[in-house]
Amino acid sequence: MTEIRAAKRRDVPPEMFRVITKYDDAQLVAIAAYQASLTTPKSMLMQSGSMCKTASAKGGKMK
């Protein structure tokens, strides 16, 4: 996120760039900590052996 804020990464949506430039380092650390604490719903996990699509995108069920 700091690279986005410093304009070192250009492959981000303009809306994200505008928002992230307003945050200081402490706020970015708090955002990163929050994101790291989230769990991924099973429907978004890839099936075993799959490298491309999630189980829900393939119409399958997680075991």
What is the pLDDT at residue 9? Answer: 87
- pLDDT per residue as tens digits for the range 28-61: 999 999 999 999 888 877 777 666 665 566 565 5
Return d(Cα 34, Cα 30) in angstroms, integer: 6
Q: pTM of the entire structure?
A: 0.58
What is the pLDDT at residue 36? Answer: 94
Mean pLDDT of 6-32: 92
Sequence-distant (6+) residues with CB within 8 A of 22 are none
